[in-house]
Structure 1
Amino acid sequence: MSYSAFELLALLIVMSGIILQTWVGIGFGLLAAPLLYLIDPAYVPVPALILGFSLSLLLVVNQRKLLCWRRVLPAIIARFPGCWCGALLLVAAPAYLLSILFGCVLLMAVILSLYTCKISLNPVNLSIGGFFSGLIGTVTSVGGPPIALVYQSVDRVTARNELAAFFLIGTPVSILFLVLQGRVDMSSLLLSVKMLPGVLLGFGIARFCDDRINLSSTKPLLLFISSASAIIILYKGISGWWEG
């Protein structure tokens, strides 16, 4: 399988995003998707989703003995009605208006988490995080931060493993919506296969360095990634409003 110079660059971007998400639980979509889109819009959203799902599968299989499915289950269940509500909102309101609204809400949640309230890891908050992850993810394609905010106060390994389980079940829902919209074709699948070595290399590098990095708390990184996501969502919404 031969690679052009741009495809090798895309492979490097995928590998970097995979390393970040393997360490902290989210970040692949935020880091890789915008850069891949600049190289070729065909990389987003289908190949990016498939590659993210591949990482979740690797993490869950590799860490299955440390994974508490019972704890993350409320978030997984709540994601489904969240996706459904997101699809209904897309029909009822302009996407740019929803992006502005959700971007503001997400940014406010980050600020509150940073300065005032502590979000506990319990079934109620997991359900709320899972619901809004499905809702915002369906509308904006950036669904990680709402559920990541619930995991900001737990240790890195727990957050990473349980977020992987959440995305393992949740990502196929997003892909199914794209299938129903006719946006999944053979070229997208072939592009995903071509980028798969980046997932394997990134996962291998991250696992090799896992014991050599000192990330006792993922809260600063998760809040930073969530803030960046909120700003991107706001930018998309304002751009859509300006162009419309």
Structure 2
Amino acid sequence: MFLPPIKISFIRKAIIFAPLPEWKYYSKKFEEGQHFSWLNINFKFLRGNNLLVGPVLSSPALALLIEFLKEKGVEKLLFLGWAGKSPFASIVVGELLLSEKALSLEGTSKFYFKNKKIFSTDKKFFQKISNLLREFNIFYRIGTILTVDAPQVVEKNLNDFKLQLMKVQAMDMETSALYALSNFYKIKAVALHFITDELGKLSTLRPEKMLTQTRENLFLFFRNFLENDL
């Protein structure tokens, strides 16, 4: 397949922002860097061979990106997304979820691990990220996330997916692919999610309105992650 060339020889760390609003916010906060695009994905190359990427929605798009990052030698990844709260979970809309596991109901992960449905992050790296979040006084909850390709189907048929939703705190479209590929390629990766709504409930509040302080604290956390060894 044809892929446009990129004049970058090595990437050490990367932060992937799934939603466009998060990409816009954090790419502006990191003022210095070289902007470019690749396959309709935006990149900002920072000093120290670090990279910001976004927006990246869906497991197939994320898989293509991680394949590229792997070829460039990436060692560590952070992922920030939005997720819908499971109606059976105690997590609250507006909180931050740190996912140690992902339950897959999507197809991308199966190309890397045919018979596996639950994917975990690297335990030592996960603990380091957890500790760093606490250092920056960022409140978060630890849990499991459900990853699907068609979230509308789940939302319209919650009872059909009750068994899976009772095992998780939230649902997204990318995390199981993130953990599947990172396990496959021996890349250390952790996913964080803002809980922006609840599955099955209509919300008219823009997620950005409730995330102001946590976003600012996360910027300091992200900067520390990129500039220091973990």
TM-score (ref. length: structure 1)? 0.28
- Identify the structure with the greater helix proportion: 1
Higher strand share: 2
Higher relative contact order structure (alpha carbons within 8 Å, sequence separation ≥ 6): 1
TM-score by length of 2: 0.30
